[in-house]
Structure 1
């Protein structure tokens, strides 16, 4: 988070630069002080403090301070350590776990709550209108799409997951306004996913893309849920990206379940659990 502020510093207005310098000088105090005290210390107005938070990619002062507080209190550094051929099993175990934990904490501190809210709002509207909710992914992301279908199916949503490019294009061609499609990609550069996303969007469906910032797919969707991590997608198996995408799906499913309401979901889930009981050994 502090690296992001340093990178944005030259492009900020002079008054916002003073706020940035205040953050970098003492991030812990910035996270605790009220906006009036922050404005006085930076010699700017209170609206300038809020503008600074939005200029560096956050939803406002409250969102910025919440994530800043989490960032400066973490005991796990946001550093990706690549595995090497001469690593011992114990080294591999520690690196894989540390990389995953660091990626999750980084996402928590940088994720846009407003983007998540827009996605959940679109999914809720599609659910109540009885519209289609589908999931597109290719390769490893296709497995995540299947997991998303399973999680939404438990909420009573008859969604479909497609990992075949031809099926994605055909499905996207049949979409209409009010439908939703969640497109999942690590690289954000898969041609099949780009084609199907463009077709679905032209037909009026809401396209929610879970992918890396700055990728072509990120710009192609209606709602971009950034899934950024330091792991290169060309090396080894995309372990961190898959887990990060699964977590984002969990967030969407949980938020959607809360929007639907426990009065409607709890009886359904209780009956499902009771019917599955006979599938297990006592």
Structure 2
């Protein structure tokens, strides 16, 4: 949660930056102080404190303080450790597993339910209108985009995934009001993905970015689902980021499935029955 606030600092308004710095200076104290005192310490108005919390993706000050207190007091019982060239196989195994667990627990503590609800509502509205959802990603994120397409077409949402920059621009050009584009990126700075996001948004589609806080892509999309982790993307293959993106898609798909509800059951059962012949008994 504190990492996300730090990453988002440059994109906040000056008054909200003062609130952010107050949080970073003493998270425990911030979580326990009343809004009047917080406003005085940050030299801002009380509505600015609440606005900062909402800018970070929370319902308001109470929701923000609850998540902050949980994050600070509970912490994460695993820490991120980089894999080194002289690591033995056992060291690599422990580090890779611990890094993934740390990222998952950190996401659980800091995730914005407001953003997830907004994204789920947009996708359900797309399903109700008979429109389509498109997944864009390149490199490792392109594989995640394919996984997203696989998850959502089974829910009856017309879905397409592409990892080619030219195809993404052409597909985004064909989107319109009621459609959704889910754009997945580790860095949030890939030019092709930014171009596709801008085109889709300009055409009236809802754009949902799964990417790092404070990145250009996070700022460009209509809805930002923060995927923050300590793993760099300049060494080896991004492992934690891919797993974190897949986890966020799992949460989103489950939320959408629950919202669609009863109409899904016969379709999923028929799909299961039709696949039965594909397996050895």
Q: Normalising to structure 1: TM-score of the pair?
A: 0.83
Deviation at 1:75, TM superposition (A): 5.2
For 1:1-282, what aligned pairs fall within 5 Å after superposition?
Answer: 1=1, 11-12=18-19, 24=28, 30=32, 39=34, 52=49, 55=52, 57=56, 58-60=58-60, 61-66=62-67, 68-69=69-70, 71-74=72-75, 76-77=77-78, 79-261=79-261, 263-282=262-281
Distance (whole Å) between structure 2 residues aligned to residue 49 and residue 128 of structure 1: 39
Output one character per residue of 1:1-30: Cα deviation in whole Å (capped at 9) or x when no partner. Answer: 4677899898139xx95x988852597xx5
Q: Normalising to structure 2: TM-score of the pair?
A: 0.83
Contact kept, 8 Å, 1:183 with 1:207, in 2: the verdict is: yes
Distance (whole Å) between structure 2 residues aligned to residue 247 and residue 204 of structure 1: 27
Paired residues, what number?
A: 266
Contact kept, 8 Å, 2:3 with 2:228, in 1: the verdict is: no
- The gaps in structure 1 that reach 5 residues or longer are 31-37
Contact kept, 8 Å, 2:136 with 2:145, in 1: the verdict is: yes
**Higher relative contact order at CA 8 Å, sep ≥6: structure 1 or structure 2?**
2
CA RMSD of aligned residues (A): 3.0
- The gaps in structure 2 that reach 5 residues or longer are 10-15
Distance (whole Å) between structure 2 residues aligned to residue 5 and residue 247 of structure 1: 21
Contact kept, 8 Å, 1:76 with 1:98, in 2: the verdict is: no
Deviation at 1:55, TM superposition (A): 3.0
Q: 1:217 to 1:12 in 2, by over 3 A?
A: closer
Contact kept, 8 Å, 1:131 with 1:179, in 2: the verdict is: yes
Distance (whole Å) between structure 1 residues aligned to residue 124 and residue 263 of structure 2: 14
Q: 1:64 to 1:281 in 2, by over 3 A?
A: farther
Structure index of larger Rg:
1
Output one character per residue of 1:37-75: Cα deviation in whole Å (capped at 9) or x when no partner. Answer: x549x6999xx9997576353333135314532552245
Give secondary structure in 2 for the equivalent of 1:161.
Answer: strand
Contact kept, 8 Å, 1:182 with 1:208, in 2: the verdict is: yes
Deviation at 1:115, TM superposition (A): 1.1
